Structures are given as C-alpha cells and as structure tokens.
A = this chain, B = another copy of it.
Amino acid sequence: MITHRNTQQRRAILDYLRNTVSHPRAEDIYVSLKSNFPSLSFGTVYRNLRILSEIGEIQELRYGNSASRFDGNTTNHPHFTCELCGSVFDVEEEFIKLDKVIFSGVKNFVIKSYRLELFGSCLHCKNSHS
C-alpha cells in the first residue's frame, strides 16, 4: 500500500485549490506557487493534481480541447461555463433536487455518478455585450 507524504508542495497545491473559486488550470497553479517554490516544476504540479484527484481531495474538470481545470470542492455540483469569457462558476443548491430525477429516471444502466455542465453567458458578459 502506498502512503502519501504531506510535502510542502502538495500542501500548497491543495491549499491553493481550497482557497479559490476560479477553477484554475495546472499552469495557473504552477505560476501562482512559483514565487514561494522557485524550483517548482510542472511535473510536480501534475503529479500532485493527479494524486489529489485519485484520493478524492479535489476534482478535475475538462472542457473542449483545452487544459483541465481543477476544483477543490469535491461535492458533485454542476458548473456553468461562460462561452464569452471562459470563466467557470459553481452552481450549487438549485440542483440538489436533480439528483433524484436523474437517479430515478434511467432504467438500462447502473448509474454511479453523473456530471452536469451548463453553457451560456454570465451576467457580466451578457450585460457588456448586449
């Protein structure tokens, strides 16, 4: 069995993800932590993101062909992606009731989890573009 070590880098990555709502990409994390860890490498960032995902401390979000985004909130909540500015927002609460609808609606498969992703424009972009 593998024991994971509580390294400074791993702690910093997890802290960073738990203290932001911006769903950063690996590169964002790398750039942000580089000042505190001048020798930090992409390999370390990616390795830790992978490990943290595997042990359920964070979750990885993928959209289109672009880089993964990471979320320190591991509850199964939907995300809203603004197609104009690219920002990703959490959508909570309103959707708790969806769980029941989704889990009870399907007959031919055994559903273990689901992911709901919403697309459109955020209020800021909607107002400044219209």
Show the binding face of A for B, using Cβ within 8 Å: 60, 62-65, 68, 80, 82-83, 89, 91, 94-95, 97-98, 101-102, 105-123, 126
A82, B108: Cα distance in complex, Å: 12
Identify the closest chain B residue to A114 (Cβ): B118
Copies of this protein in the complex: 2
A114-B105 in contact given A62-B62, A62-B65 (Cβ < 8 Å): no
A82, B115: Cα distance in complex, Å: 14
Which residue of B68, B109, B117, B121 is within 8 Å of A91 (Cβ)?
A: B109
Q: For residue A120, which residues in chain B have a CB less than 8 angstroms away from its CB?
A: 109-113
Which residue of B101, B109, B113, B126 is within 8 Å of A101 (Cβ)?
A: B101
Which residue of B107, B109, B110, B117 is within 8 Å of A115 (Cβ)?
A: B117
Q: List 9 A-B contacts (CB under 8 A).
A: A80-B106, A91-B109, A97-B101, A98-B102, A111-B118, A112-B119, A114-B116, A116-B117, A117-B117
Which residue of B64, B105, B111, B121 is within 8 Å of A110 (Cβ)?
A: B121
Identify the closest chain B residue to A107 (Cβ): B94
A122 touches B109 (CB 8 A): yes
Q: For residue A112, which residues in chain B have a CB less than 8 angstroms away from its CB?
A: 83, 119-121
Identify the closest chain B residue to A103 (Cβ): B118
